[in-house]
Amino acid sequence: MARSRFAQTTATLRRARDVGPRGVAQRLAARAYRATGAQALDLHLDPADVVGDVPASLPVPAPRPAGGAGQDSPGLTVGWVTSPPAAGSGGHTTLFRMVEGLEARGHTCVVYLYDRHGLDIAQRTAELRRGWPGVRAEVRDARAGISGVDAVVASSWESAHVVLSYGAEPVHRLYFIQDFEPYFYPRGSEYELAAMTYRFPFRRIALGEMVAGCLRSELGQDSDLVPFGCDTRTYHLPKARMPRSGVVLYAKPDVGRRGYLLARLALERFHRTHPDQEIHVYGSPPTGLPFPVTYHGSVTPTALNELYGRVVAGLAMSFTNISLVAEEMLAAGVVPVVNDSPLSRADLPGAYVGWAEPTAEGIAVELAAAVDRPDADAYAVEVAESVTGRSWDLTQELVAQIVEDEVRRGDGA
C-alpha cells in the first residue's frame, strides 16, 4: 500500500513538473470549477426569469396616432433592454447607436440593464456615459420593472426573456437582432432558449442579411431588415502616412465564434514564414502563444484606427454574423482576413477581403499574400476607398422608423 502511494505521489510530481506552474494552476482551477458547479454562472439569465413557453399573443396598447398636418408628432418613450455594457463591446456600441438615432428624432429613451447578480445603477450609468457619451438615456434596473414606456426593445435572447418577465403592462415590443444567437451554443438548452425568443410575438428587426436569412431558414420567421453600417468617421486612412508592415489580431479567447484557436494556429504558421512581420494583438489578453506579439490591451477607437494605419492585414474572424471589425479595418486601409463562409459573405463587401479557408494553413496563406504585395501602401488607399461614404445613418433612420411605425400603427402581431 505504501509503495502504491509512493508511486502515485511520484507520478503526480512528475506530471506537475511536466506541465509547469501554469499547468498546475489550470488543473486546480478546472477541478474547482467542476466541484463548485461554477458553470451555472455561464448562464447570464436567472433561471427564474426564463420564460416557460412561447406566448401566442401579448397585451399591447392601442396605436398612438401621429400628429396631424402642421402638427408636431409627440415624442415617444422607448425602453432598450440589455446587459451591462463593457468598454469596447461592439454589440453595445451598435445598440447605443440606435438609441442615439431615436433621441436625435426627439424621442426619450430608457436603458434597462439586467444582471442576475444585482446592479449598482449609479456606477453603471457612469460607465455608460464614459463609453458612449452621446447617449442621453436614463439608466434603470430591469428587475425593478419595465414600465412607463410606449415601446420596449429586446437586444439579445436573454433580454427577450427579461422583457416578458419584467414587463407585464401593455406595451409595443420589438427585438433588435444583431446575430443568430442559437449559433453561440452547442445544440442543447441554451440553443433552444435562444431560438424560442425569435418566436415571441415581438416585431423583429434583423441587422443584416445573415440574421434575416437565418430567421427565415431556421425558424420560418420574417423580420424587418436593416443594413450593416460602418463608422468611417472614426476609421479612416491616417493623415500621416508611413510604410505599413505587420498584422493585427482582435483577440477574444473566451468567445468561441471569434475563432481564437484557429487564429493562433494560423499566426504561428505565419510567423515561421514571416518572422520579420510584427504581430499586434488587442482586445482580451492572448493565451498560449509560442511566438512574440505586441499586446495593446483594450484600446479606444481613435487609438485603434492609429494602429490600423500601421499594419497591412488584420484577422477578423467570426463564425456567425460578420464582426464590425472587418469593415472598420477596410476603412483604415487594412486587408481583413476572414474565415470564408456564406454567413460571413452575406453582409461584408468582399472585393478587398482576404477570404480564407477556415484552416490554420488557409488563414496563414491569406495573411502572407497581403504582406507580400509589393504595392501594399498604395493598395491600402484603394482598400479604404472601397468603403468611402459608409455610415450608420441609414440604419439608425430605418430602426427609428420601424419603432415609430410599430407604436403609431402597429397591431402587436
Q: Which residues contact 24 (CB under 8 A, 6 or more apart)?
A: 16
R_g of the chain computed on alpha carbons: 24
Bridge partners (DSSP) listed for residue 295: 281
CA distance 189 to 43: 10
Question: What is the per-residue pLDDT across 169-202, written as a single tens digit (0 to 9) for each?
Answer: 999 999 999 999 999 999 999 999 999 999 999 9
Helix 157-166 vs helix 189-197: angle between axes, to the nearest 10 degrees? 60
Instruction: Please give the pLDDT value at position 39.
Output: 55
Confidence of residue 71 (pLDDT cuts 50, 70, 90): very low
How crowded is the C-beta side of 408, counted as CA atoms within 13 Å?
A: 15
Q: Which three cell numbers stand for residue 376?
A: 501594399
Q: Cα 72–77–82 angle (5° rounding)?
A: 145
Neighbours of 285 (CB within 10 A): 10
Res. 33: pLDDT tops 70: no
**pTM attached to this predicted model:** 0.88
Instruction: Please give the pLDDT value at position 36.
Output: 46
Instruction: Please give the pLDDT value at position 70.
Output: 41
Instruction: Please give the pLDDT value at position 349.
Output: 83
Q: Which amino acid is at 301?
A: P
Res. 40: pLDDT tops 50: no
All domains of the chain in start order, with CATH: 48-229+393-409 (3.40.50.11090), 247-385 (3.40.50.2000)
Confidence of residue 28 (pLDDT cuts 50, 70, 90): low
Bridge partners (DSSP) listed for residue 82: 113
Question: What is the per-residue pLDDT across 210-222, written as a single tens digit (0 to 9) for each?
Answer: 999 999 999 999 9
Q: Which amino acid is at 115?
A: D
Q: Are 54 and 200 in contact (CB under 8 A)?
A: yes
Alpha carbon separation from 231 to 99, 133, 302, 328, 389 (Å, rounded): 16, 16, 12, 7, 9
Average pLDDT over residues 357-379: 97
Sign of the Cα pseudo-torsion (251, 315, 267, 280, in order) = negative
High-pLDDT (> 70) share of the chain, %: 88
Closest CA to 355 of 313, 385, 309, 386: 313
Q: Which three cell numbers stand for residue 404?
A: 415609430
CA distance 93 to 90: 5
Confidence of residue 89 (pLDDT cuts 50, 70, 90): confident
Which of 34-43, 235-244, 339-348, 393-402 has the largest mean confidence?
393-402
Burial of 404 (0-12, 13-18, 19+ CB in 10 A): buried
Burial of 1 (0-12, 13-18, 19+ CB in 10 A): exposed
Average pLDDT over residues 10-19: 68
Instruction: Please give the pLDDT value at position 295.
Output: 97
Q: Are 258 and 323 in contact (CB under 8 A)?
A: yes
Give, for 181, the enclosing helix (H) or strand (E). none
